[in-house]
Amino acid sequence: MKHLILLNDPPYGTERSFNGLRMAHALAKNDPDADITVFLMADAVLCAKAGQKTPEGFYNLERMIRRVLTAKGRVLMCGTCMDARGLTEGDMMEGVARSTMDELAQATLAADKVLVF
């Protein structure tokens, strides 16, 4: 089954992006054949910023995204949202990809399930 998970909130300050990535992990764990795409929009593009340092025992979104990638999921970032925040591909972690609204539209049309956080 193809799952598309849209994240809109910043990596820290709310738990929506955290919970969306938790769902991505649970889907990958419970359905090894799942095709999972996470699309980062608005402040959620900061979830894929490289070099995050969080206090001991606190969740780290960079590590959580790495787990999605390790499970053969893909993580796309809204290029317009990156530009608005002054982020370049060099600022972002390895394995994530700059994307467009057209690619999001295609992923939405191809998905069996769309979850928005």
Tens of pLDDT, residue by residue over 34-44, are 999 999 999 99
Domains, the chain: 2-116 (3.40.1260.10)
Per-residue confidence band for 46, with pLDDT thresholds at 50, 70 and 90 = very high
Tokens standing for residue 43: 């402040």
Positive/negative CA dihedral, 72, 58, 10, 89:
negative
pLDDT for 111: 98
Please, which residues have CB within 8 angstroms of residue 59's CB and are 6 or more apart in sequence? 18
